[in-house]
Amino acid sequence: MTKYVFVTGGVVSGLGKGITASSIALLLKARGYKVFMQKFDPYINVDPGTMNPIQHGEVFVTYDGCETDLDLGHYERYIDEELNYTSNITSGKIYKSVIDKERHGDYLGATVQMVPHITNEIKNKVYEAGNSSGADIVITEIGGTVGDIESNSFIEALRQIQYEKGVENTFFVHCTLIPYVYGSNELKTKPTQNSVRDLRNMGIRPDALVCRVPYSTNSHIKEKLSLFCSVPVENVIDSVDVSNIYEIPIKYYEQKIDEIILKQFGLEIREAKLDYWKKLIKTVDNLKDEIEIALVGKYVELHDAYLSVAESLRHAGYKYNVKINIKWVDSEVLEKKETKLSEVFKNSKGIIVPGGFGSRGVEGKMMAIKYARENDVPFLGICLGMQLAVIEFARNVCGIEEASSTEFDPTCKEPIIDLMADQKSVVNMGGTLRLGNYECSLKKDTLAYLDYKKEKILERHRHRYEFNNKYKAVLEEKGLVFSGINEKANLVEIIEYPKLKHFIACQFHPEFKSRPTRPHPLFDSFIKASKDSK
Ligand code: GLN
């Protein structure tokens, strides 16, 4: 029977609930159990695909093409399992599905209500995650804070799940804050007490508390929390601020959170295989050298907009024992007359241009690409970064001055990047993206092939425009190599320029498949080249 761990949050948001959920999942996996993760987001958007990255950070894409919350990136990086469409459910998705069923007549004229219709829909999503993944344990994080109007229906659904499946098959972890009050110089438990009371008002008694706290609490605090919140003392877990977030699973392991959960589930407490993770922590804490990598984008003031890209750079850094200092370069600043690119990039050992949408800032990104090309600075372009690399090459190497993308200029004369013929009609009807896994075949004796060391790869996509094959021959003539192709649809997936030390770009998003202990091949070789470049 599938077991369920639910992770809720109280007091304030931003306590690292996602990392807590991931850490618990990692520990349970290390104990030999098959785990699966899921996040409920209380907002009404059907998915985060259309949300502004400034407000919500990056959109993480699963292999099956689901556009999800960035926390899923943490999940995948921690547990190293591919998640799917059952892993990110918003209120909007739940409401939409219920309303569609109502319109379809599925409820046979019944009055459609929060309970049971919305709550049933939520419960089904939890059970579906368990059934479709075949996991022993599903870990579900509830976004937002307990007490928010928006999350009430989720909490109610969880209460019902506990009733249906029994206490021995469900475990509630509540993440809270223990603030330190200056003056009286004490840690305060009251906000946690209040938050647990809110939860109990909704029929849920947490099985464990994970308390974010500036330093380890003493037994007095734990006993107080235990008494007021009806949680055994040993189930009150400290989550002390750490500089290296990979330490968190180990901190929880030392406090036996995984054993506590497994005991409640009546599951065997097998040996925890955590050596690989401990090794990672040691590596991260002892990086020998450092290098600067310039990341050129239009949302650089919000680093979360490029979370997986930044993480992927760091992962490759761990492999080569270098700390990656990301220089966040605003592409619009590069467009200003007074900006000197040689000044901006003077310490950058590599330049990366990640994905993006719309025309704002694209000229600046192309200036960065031109700089990389002309100065032989290792370059990695991702999605829009590849499209711009091709446009820059067409304009400045092949002399096709009006080269552009129909995304920026729908009437452009030289649409090097364009919609496919069959896409044009679809876009008029509302627009779709190419999402999720697509196969790519690699050409032998190319950098891409050297990186992956295989002929066929699967990578995740999230884009609408494609390289226009009409221009292939002209660019090839000037030395551009099309090293990765989706053969089924004849689409360009990877380009490279072998005249330079390291100049490569891809149409897909490699950042979604990088792991801290296993950097993605394209990031791996990019960081290696950057580290080795003078
Ligand atoms: N805007 C481009 C497209 O839709 C690139 C998208 C991206 O970088 N994710 O094709």
pLDDT, tens digit (0-9, with 9 covering 90-100), for 219-232: 889 999 999 999 99
Indicate if ligand 1 lies below 6 Å from the C-beta of 462. Answer: yes
Mutate to test the pocket of ligand 1, among 299, 463, 467, 507 (most ligand atoms within 8 A of CB): 463
Distance CA 487, CA 276 (A): 37
* Predicted local distance difference test score (pLDDT) of residue 471: 97
The ligand 1 atom at the shortest distance from the C-alpha of residue 466 is 10
pLDDT, tens digit (0-9, with 9 covering 90-100), for 380-417: 999 999 999 999 999 999 999 999 999 999 999 999 99
Distances (CA, A) of 521 to 222, 283, 486, 515, 525: 46, 19, 18, 11, 6
288-532 has the same fold as 3-280: yes
**Distance in Å, CA 259 to ligand 1 centroid:** 45
* Predicted local distance difference test score (pLDDT) of residue 11: 87
Distance CA 157, CA 163 (A): 10
Query: What percent of the chain lies above the pLDDT cut of 90?
Result: 88
* Predicted local distance difference test score (pLDDT) of residue 534: 73
* Predicted local distance difference test score (pLDDT) of residue 138: 98
Of the candidates 1, 22, 19, 31, the residue with the CA atom closest to the CA atom of residue 260: 31
List residues with catalytic annotation: 383, 509, 511
* Predicted local distance difference test score (pLDDT) of residue 427: 52
383: helix, strand or coil: coil
E strands present in 342-433: 348-353, 379-382, 403-405, 414-418
Length of the chain: 534
Distance CA 89, CA 280 (A): 31
75 has a pLDDT exceeding 60 = yes
431 has a pLDDT exceeding 70 = no
* Among protein residues, the one whose CA lies closest to atom 6 of ligand 1: 463
369 has a pLDDT exceeding 50 = yes
Distance CA 76, CA 18 (A): 11
* Predicted local distance difference test score (pLDDT) of residue 391: 98
Record the pTM. 0.93
Distance CA 465, CA 476 (A): 20
* Predicted local distance difference test score (pLDDT) of residue 423: 66
- Span 148-153, average pLDDT: 90
Identify residue 330 by its one-letter amino acid code.
D
429 has a pLDDT exceeding 60 = no
Distance CA 243, CA 255 (A): 19
3-state secondary structure 424-446: HHHHHCCCCCEEEEEEEEECCCC
Mean residue pLDDT of the chain comes to 94
pLDDT, tens digit (0-9, with 9 covering 90-100), for 157-185: 999 999 999 999 999 999 999 999 999 99
* Predicted local distance difference test score (pLDDT) of residue 178: 94
* Predicted local distance difference test score (pLDDT) of residue 52: 81
Identify residue 438 by its one-letter amino acid code.
Y
112 secondary structure, DSSP code: P
276 has a pLDDT exceeding 60 = yes
Indicate if ligand 1 lies below 6 Å from the C-beta of 407. Answer: yes
Where are the domains positioned within the chain?
Answer: 3-280, 288-532
- For residue 116, cis peptide bond before it (omega within 30 degrees of 0): yes
pLDDT, tens digit (0-9, with 9 covering 90-100), for 81-99: 999 999 999 999 999 999 9
Q: What is the CA radius of gyration of the chain?
A: 25
299 has a pLDDT exceeding 90 = no
Q: How far is CA 430 from the centre of its chain?
A: 26
Distances (CA, A) of 519 to 69, 82, 451, 510: 22, 15, 11, 10
Q: How confident is the model at residue 428 (pLDDT cuts 50, 70, 90)?
A: very low
**Distance in Å, CA 48 to ligand 1 centroid:** 16
Q: How far is CA 479 from the centre of its chain?
A: 35
Residue with tokens 């700089």: 371
* Predicted local distance difference test score (pLDDT) of residue 426: 56
329 has a pLDDT exceeding 50 = yes
Indicate if ligand 1 lies below 6 Å from the C-beta of 15. Answer: no
**Distance in Å, CA 386 to ligand 1 centroid:** 9
Q: How confident is the model at residue 48 (pLDDT cuts 50, 70, 90)?
A: confident
Q: How confident is the model at residue 243 (pLDDT cuts 50, 70, 90)?
A: confident
The answer as to CATH 3.30.479.30 being correct for domain 288-532 is no
* Predicted local distance difference test score (pLDDT) of residue 424: 65
Say what angle helices 71-79 and 307-319 make with each other, to 10 degrees: 20
Q: Which CATH class is domain 3-280?
A: alpha beta
pLDDT, tens digit (0-9, with 9 covering 90-100), for 451-475: 999 999 999 999 999 999 999 999 9
Indicate if ligand 1 lies below 6 Å from the C-beta of 383. Answer: yes
Q: How confident is the model at residue 425 (pLDDT cuts 50, 70, 90)?
A: low
Distance CA 43, CA 41 (A): 6
Torsion of CA 246, 135, 202, 109, to 10 degrees: 140
pLDDT, tens digit (0-9, with 9 covering 90-100), for 479-508: 999 999 999 999 999 999 999 999 999 999
